[in-house]
Structure 1
């Protein structure tokens, strides 16, 4: 079975809103995330993916969780990190597969069309 390893970031602002991205293809919201590139650690992947998808530079605060699943004959392992958004780069070019970047409260997230609904419990647990 093939393996896919990736990272996802739970970034919160001062108002306790969570950073989300909307994928252009599926029109669903998720935490900024993506797959490891050769030679990357999960932390480095997380920082790169958040920057590519949102334009934010982040600092990793702690590892939260590792989600394991089987999706389309892939063994998927996603490393979740709690992160702080340090600054948004005005010159950043957002990935073309990202339609929208937004900050949402927990109550707003509950009403969104989520790409990974199972992440909601994790977000609630760690965003208190």
Structure 2
């Protein structure tokens, strides 16, 4: 079950979504920035891993409009994958791993002692040790 909080102003909109073990924030500021910040929590250990999709510092109104549209598509695809149970987390083991669908494989997100890292792995398949993020 998701919860949703929405904020809309003259400068854009902000959606905060949450499940039992994750939170996401989608920000749309049409004059400068579009982004999604996602954080998942391992229910057994409390460890967290984060994943971001955004337009960085590019001016999304002009020369980089096509790039911004691609980011919008990525955010929509991520939220659809999350809704459909295709964003996965590893069960057990020493580290917390999240898998996000990407092409023919996944982006593997791991939380180290200090930083969260992501690695795209074409052809990577999730086995029985992975379950949908709840």
Structure 2 length normalisation: TM-score?
Answer: 0.29
Q: Determine which structure has the larger helix proportion and give its number.
A: 1
Which structure has the bigger radius of gyration? 2
Q: Which has the higher contact order (CA 8 A, sep 6+)?
A: 1
